[in-house]
Amino acid sequence: MPKADIHPDYHEINVVMTDGTTFKTRSTWGKPGDTMRLDIDTKSHPAWTGVQKLLDTGGQIAKFNKRFQSFGLK
């Protein structure tokens, strides 16, 4: 006898890429109709673009610069 309610809900969601383009896909993430906004995707990730782009979402670079500013790069 198959077990009931052992699989997560699989539904349609909207995905917004970094350049604003959107598409629909099926996922277990969120609720039906929710929108997932991507910070990094194939249009912005260096592995696909070959271009390094600095993304400092948590202020880590500013924290690092403040902590080591006394060393003074010349």
Report mean pLDDT in 10-residue bins for the chain, 74 residues.
83 96 96 94 80 70 82 66
Report pLDDT for 18.
Answer: 92
Return contacts of 30-35, CB within 8 angstroms, 24+ apart: none
Residue 56 counted as domain residue: yes
Q: Where are the beta strands (DSSP E) in 1-74?
A: 11-16, 22-27, 35-37
In a domain, 73, yes or no: no
- For residue 40, tell me if it sits in a domain: yes
Asked if residue 5 is part of any domain, the answer here is no
Structure tokens belonging to residue 46:
């260096």
Size (the chain), residues: 74
Which pLDDT score is estimated for 47? Answer: 77
Cα 6 to the chain's mean position, in Å? 28
The count of structural domains within the chain is: 1
Residue 43: name the closest of 12, 14, 21, 13 by CA: 21
* Containing structural domain, residue 49: 11-68
> Per the domain annotation, does 27 fall within a domain?
yes
Q: Is 4 a member of any domain? A: no
